[in-house]
Amino acid sequence: MVRFFFIAAAMCCALSLSADDGRYRVEWSRYRIDGSRTGCVAPSADNIETSVGRVSGKTYYAPDGRVYKGGTVAAVASVVLDAQPAMAPVKKVIGYSPQAMILAEPESALSDLFIDTLMDAVEKKSGKRVDVGIGNFGGIRVDMPEGDILLDDMMSMFPFKNSIVYVALEGRDLRAILEQMAATRIQVLGGVRIVVSDGKLLSATVDGMPIDDDRVYGVATISFLLDGGDGLHVGKNAVDILNYNDIDIIDIMLDYVNSETAAGRDIVYGTDGRVRILD
């Protein structure tokens, strides 16, 4: 088995490749960088040694006092430490979150924050009413940390180049997307409140009213989900599509954090029960 480690702002992802009869199987596991393993935590620009440790010669001195002489640990630590000066610009503190926002399905404060911000941005850019937002959990890669928010945190949270999109959908097509989610996997939703039981969509309301099959709804989404991303086809049967290729997800999320910080506000959000799954 061959294992590779990828380190982001708040998580470490391990990719394992194992051969079985000439075929390779890919397995992912995630470890939170919370200091529990070697004392390492995500560094800012001015606390590299206390967060990541140091290397002298071929020996790595971890933040928790452990010493690793030679081998891959010291070699990898050297690569990480050597990269820190180039990473200094993304270690800028851009906001503050008094509590962590942990990504969770089918609804979480972080996913609600993302989709509500997307809806606002698409409505502002398009000049059209946005009734519903559809995103995907896979597009949010790490949690919002407690405390200082670095530019690196946000870039790690939303690393993919997916543009924001306005889609006009008839109610029957919007309902079909929600029914597919109910039967498979609920994704990130805004503007609509749904109740699901046993893989079936029991109800779906917008502005307190059941979805009208003949009404055209304004939907905010991302380019990845227009035609097959995560199994969704939000662009199917669309009455209109406006793809803003010059605006990516990270752009709107940074605008939100920067504007809240400039106004002297912390980054705080909560859930509102927009998704209910009955046992």
Strand stretches in the chain, DSSP E:
2-7, 11-20, 23-32, 54-56, 59-61, 67-69, 93-97, 132-135, 147-150, 163-170, 188-190, 192-197, 200-206, 209-210, 216-222, 240-248, 275-278
R_g over Cα of the chain? 22
Q: Which helix (H) or strand (E) holds 182?
A: helix 171-183
Last residue of a domain, one of 68, 91, 114: 91
Residue type, 60: Y
Last residue of a domain, one of 91, 114, 129: 91
| 225 φ/ψ angles, rounded to the nearest 5 degrees | -95, 0
What is the tally of structural domains in the chain?
2
CA distance 242 to 250: 18
β-pairing, 11-20 vs 23-32, is antiparallel
Q: Is the full-model pTM beyond 0.75?
A: yes
Q: 179: domain CATH number?
A: 3.90.780.10
Is residue 266 pLDDT above 80, yes or no?
A: yes
For the chain, how far is it from start to end, CA to CA, in angstroms?
40
| Same domain (yes/no): 209, 82 | no
| Same domain (yes/no): 138, 270 | yes
Output the CA torsion sign for 58, 53, 93, 32.
Answer: positive
Over range 201-229, report the average pLDDT: 97
Q: Is 39 left (phi over 0), alpha (psi -120 to 50) or beta?
A: left
| Same domain (yes/no): 69, 106 | no
- In this predicted structure, what is the pLDDT of residue 192? 98
| Same domain (yes/no): 122, 218 | yes
Is residue 1 pLDDT above 80, yes or no?
A: no
| Same domain (yes/no): 23, 146 | no
| Same domain (yes/no): 64, 114 | no
Number of neighbouring beta carbons within 10 Å of residue 178 = 21
| Same domain (yes/no): 62, 109 | no
Is residue 25 pLDDT above 80, yes or no?
A: no
| Same domain (yes/no): 157, 77 | no
Last residue of a domain, one of 56, 91, 126: 91
Tens of pLDDT along 122-160? 999 999 999 999 999 999 999 999 999 999 999 999 999
| Same domain (yes/no): 171, 117 | yes
| Same domain (yes/no): 165, 235 | yes
| Same domain (yes/no): 155, 261 | yes
- In this predicted structure, what is the pLDDT of residue 172? 98
Over the chain, what is the mean pLDDT?
90
| Res. 8 pLDDT band, cuts 50 70 90 | very low
| Same domain (yes/no): 27, 60 | yes
* CA angle centred on 105, ends 147 and 34, rounded to 5°: 35
The parent domain of residue 72 ranges over 2-91
Tens of pLDDT along 168-191? 999 999 999 999 999 999 999 999
Query: Poorest-confidence range of 2-6, 18-22, 261-265?
Result: 2-6
Q: Which of 109, 100, 97 is nearest to 148 (CA)?
A: 97
- In this predicted structure, what is the pLDDT of residue 140? 96
